[in-house]
Structure 1
């Protein structure tokens, strides 16, 4: 059975949705909602909730969760999987991701897939920037993308994939 819980973050509330099969969505909410009390978090969402709290507490850099996204074409899923190769504190361009998929002409398609990522932060689409280093679109808003990149900055070593 699918459930949604809310987590307070420095960027506003996050909605975490999932079932016993895994985490299916993590998204920013624009309206204030109270955080879900720990005692009311279903067992199947407790680990995702714990890991996101640890991420924002600077205690976790890499997520290890069971995923069960409800959306995504085969190409989108390949793009989202490639996002996991862009380590904490690093960035990559849309072209870098297209090249990693052995399809350098798919830059625009990579950008579109990146924008449809159902698991914000966990699948780090915020680490994807323009080839010239500019911040490009982010479904959660550019202010959040900028914040996340700055938040990860203390360990930034430059370069591409970790």
Structure 2
């Protein structure tokens, strides 16, 4: 398993993976030293993340290999279908599964997403539009949703 650390506008980010694909992308809450030489297996992921933060990339094209239960993987696949700049609720996802009673399981699978940004769990919000729960911190979720919003707030000063 290879790993590297890159710097992003939301903090240092660890990428892990191998020839079978990217297994984790995690934002860190500590200061780390960015990796001088990014392993070839992770170069494309690092590049695409930088493009995303520059506003150039809206969709990722990477070989992914997240580790999880079949249910978690099903939810993560559903998350990848949420368009850039759009949001859905946990209840919407549970309804897509055909059982509103799965809402807690959906939220739990969402919280265990190992592929920060690439599998866009930040696009899932509360039914009332609130920014509920986010492993990377609500301030990052808000930043990501604003970054993807087609309606940019301009500064008056």
Equivalents in 2 of 1:88, 1:61: separation in Å? 6
Residue 14 of structure 2 corresponds to 15
The TM-score normalised by the length of structure 1 is: 0.90
Residue segments in structure 2 that go unaligned for 5+ positions in a row: 153-157
What aligned pairs does 1:7-156 form with structure 2 within 5 A after superposition? 7-37=6-36, 40-69=37-66, 71-154=67-150
Q: Displacement of 1:98 after TM fit?
A: 1.2
The runs of at least 4 aligned residues of structure 1 exceeding 4 Å deviation read none
Aligned residues: CA RMSD:
1.2
Equivalents in 2 of 1:155, 1:86: separation in Å? 18
Equivalents in 2 of 1:129, 1:66: separation in Å? 27
The TM-score normalised by the length of structure 2 is: 0.93
Indicate conservation of the 8 Å contact 1:79/1:101, yes or no: no
Residue segments in structure 1 that go unaligned for 5+ positions in a row: 157-162
Q: Displacement of 1:124 after TM fit?
A: 0.1
Residue 159 of structure 1 corresponds to none
Q: How many residues align?
A: 152
Equivalents in 2 of 1:11, 1:20: separation in Å? 27
